Each structure stands twice: as structure tokens, then as C-alpha cells.
Chains A and B, each alone.
Chain A
Amino acid sequence: MSGEVSLAKRPRLARQARLLWDPVRERHVLLAPEGMLLLNDTGAAIVGLCDGNRTIAEIIEELHRRYNRVVAEEVQHFVARLVAKRWMEIGNA
């Protein structure tokens, strides 16, 4: 379950996880049963783009439009980590 998620996959947030804006910490946070992850802007953007329709390749393309420095492998690793935690699910390509 670790490693990377291939470019053709269409990840989406698992139903047990929720992305919220925390006005107290001024950070996005991903919440799941008994766990949470404070996200930076890029992390929040990635999670927000994982809607089950976009492929990883399309997500990376969109991130390139928004940010200067986007490393494809880092995006794939990040999504893979969330999939391993079952906070993210992979639809079929």
C-alpha cells in the first residue's frame, strides 16, 4: 500500500475522512476517526483536487498552474500515504 499512486488513478477522500478549515490554527486539517493531519496549502490543494474524477496526472497539471514548484513524485507519495491510512480511496482508471 505504500510507494506511489500511478498517474492514471482517480483518488477521492474516503467517506470516513473530512477536510476542514480550522480558523483557530488558520490551517486546513484532514480529520478521520482517531486521527488528524494538519495540512499546508499544497497538501490542502491536493486533497481538495482528489474528487474521484481527476486523475493524479490531471491533479499534478492543475497544481503546476497554481504553484511554481511541484514534484510529481511527492504528490504521488502524499496520496499513497493517505490511501495507506484509508483516508483516501482509489477509483478505477
Chain B
Amino acid sequence: MLRPFGMLAELTYACPLHCPYCSNPLNLADYSDELTTAEWQRVFAEARDLGVLQLHLSGGEPLLRRDLVELVARAHELGMYTNLITSGIGLTQRRAEQLRAAGLDHVQISIQADESALSDLIAGTPSFERKIEAARLVKELGWPLTLNVVLHRYNIDRIDRILDLAESLGADRIELANTQYYGWAWRNRAALLPSKAQLDRAESIVRAARERLEGQMEIIYVIPDYYSQYPKPCMGGWGQRQLTVIPNGDVLPCPAAHLLPLPRASVREHPLSWIWEESPLFQRFRGTEWMPEPCRSCERRTVDFGGCRCQAFLLTGDAARTDPVCHLSPDHWLVAEAVRRANEGKPTVLGNPIPRTFRMRRGAA
């Protein structure tokens, strides 16, 4: 039987930040009926029985869940490797110590830039200094520290300084991931997509830094798929290795899949095992049978699995088409056109205000 290795638990979509590249859904308020502590703990146990070994606790901001320590403790007890993906806001000394004691294995803290003015502008709220404090705290408590940086037009030119900051914080890993265009990022794509010149410069800086910091800091660099020849192997294939549970208990094969016109599957209505093994949602794009041409006869169909279903849907309105990122896709012009516009020589002045399409805040719970 096919078994999932990893589960992304998006505990809440509430978040103190307002990043315009967020991949959370636009209609955040529709997801405010969050799973309870007991429901999440049951889902974790079902996930472990199904084979999940790695649990990524994310959001929104997972630290806004007051029961986060209890949730981590349960996952740890079940024998899962637990990874907290956070803005760092709300990671007080006390909270951090409780999470450490509960068995949290690893912390990833997002930063938006290398200094407060730009970082706070992108985050839409003063947060940089607290993030740096949180990063120091993570190191002090003996956790490995990963910094997450989402790259886009407004911060990619500072990648060298971002790497310097990571080094000075003693980060063990840094993930420099170009924006993926879902949710808010999709809405802000024209403002966020970097130019080819920006990417070339960033890549050469990353290459040099990797050499210089080998054995000291791991540097993960994720290229923007709009600029690659082939699509990303989204989630390692639909319903193959990973699953996502979102705040209201809906289970998704890809964190962006809530936007697809497919039947829902909720842990409030079905066991997780049924959802993974049998639900129409997880069956829909599993394997290679669903594939259209050019994927169907392509050698790479088991390498990139036709790319991302959600990206195909966003770009073409049909989730069953080849990911238009692929240069072989008949819809590739849609991506080429966006790339062309990003390279039209529009000036990319640092600190340009980003369109103010910030995330909605959930009402007091």
C-alpha cells in the first residue's frame, strides 16, 4: 500500500503578518471553524497509523494556537518528527522552553529581508526584531535553526545580505525559496515575479555561498518554476507521499488544492485512512492514468508527475491539463507571457510599496 511520509498541519490561518506572497487562500474567513485540540490529536494518531513520520506544524501562525504545546507533545508521543514553521512572533522564552520539553524537533523561522525596514514593509507589521530574537532563542535552546526566506522582486537583490544575516545568526540551514504563485501570491504575481537578471545574480551568489559555507550552513535554493523548462514534481505526486490538513479539517493532496473544483474530504466526516486511500479527491490525479498529452507519452511523467494541478487550474481553468510551466505544454504561452512582462524593464526599486492586498484577520476567537 502507498503510505504518506509527511503531513502538513495548517493549524490556523490567523497570522500577525500580512505578507503579499502568502499561499493561504484568499477567503481566509471561511476556514475559521478550526479543529479542536482533541480533533487534531486524533488526526495525528490516524496519520501515524497511516505511516506519517514527519509532521510540519504551520499556518497561518501556529503559535497563535494556544494548545500548540499539547499538540506537539501528542505528535512526539506518537513517534513523529515534529517541525514548527513559524514567523517567530509569539515565540517567547517560556513558550519555547515548553515546546522544547514537549519534544519539538526543529524550528523554521521566516524572515522577509535582512533588515527591519524592508522586512517590516513586506510583512506589513513591525516584526523583524522579534524574529531575530526568536532565531537567537532557538539556537540558545539547542534546536537546529532553519531560516525560511520567500524570494520575490523586492528582496531577491539582497540575497547576499540575507545570507550574511543567516551566517551571523548561526543558522544550520537556510531555505531561499522563490515565491510560488498561489493564494495571495497569485493575486500579486505581477508585482512579485523577479526578472531574469535578478535571478541570474541571485543564483551566482548562492553558488558562491554554498562553496564558502560548505559543512557549516546548508543552503537550499528553490528556483521559480516560471523560469524553468519543466514543472516541479508537486508534492512528489498527487497523493503519493504527502498530505495537508487545513484549519477546518479538510484534507488536501497539495496545500493549494482547496481552490480546485473537487469533492471535499474532511477529517470531521471520514477517517484519514479512507480519505488517503479511497476518497475521490485523492484518487483524482493519483498515478499517470489521468494525464493528457503531452504528459501521457512523456518520459518525465514519473519524474514531475505533470507538475502542479493547482497551478494548471489557476492558469488554464482546468486542473487536468499539463502544468503550463512545462515548455511542452500547449498552454506554456501563459507562463511565457507573465515572464515577458516581468522582464520588460520595469524598474525594481528596493522598497517599492507592495500592493496592499494584505490578509484578512480572523475575528477574536
Contacts and interface: CB of A to CB of B under 8 A. Distances in A.
Contacts of B108: 33
A51 interface: no
Given A16-B172, A18-B81, A18-B105, A31 B144 contact: no
- The range of chain B's interface size is 20 to 34
B131 interface: no
Contact of A33 (B3, B53, B173): B173
A18 B83 CA distance: 12
A71 interface: no
A1 B210 CA distance: 13
A34 interface: yes
Contacts, number: 47
Given A31-B53, A36-B5, A24 B48 contact: yes
Contacts of A34: 54, 83
A33 B83 contact: yes
Interface string B67-89: 00000000000010101000000
A24 B83 contact: no
A26 to B, nearest CB: 11
Interface in A9-42: 14-16, 18, 20-22, 24-25, 29, 31-34, 36
Contacts of A15: 142, 144
- The range of chain A's interface size is 10 to 19
B293 interface: no
Given A1-B215, A24-B48, A36 B142 contact: no
A33 B79 contact: no
A54 interface: no
B33 interface: no
Contacts of B83: 33-34
- Find the residue from A16, A22, A32, A33 having the highest chain B CB count within 10 A: A33
- Find the residue from A1, A21, A24, A25 having the highest chain B CB count within 10 A: A24
A32 B146 CA distance: 12
Interface of A: 1, 14-16, 18, 20-22, 24-25, 29, 31-34, 36, 86
| Pairs of residues from A and B, 6 with the lowest C-beta to C-beta distance, nearest first | A16-B144, A31-B81, A33-B106, A24-B51, A20-B79, A1-B215
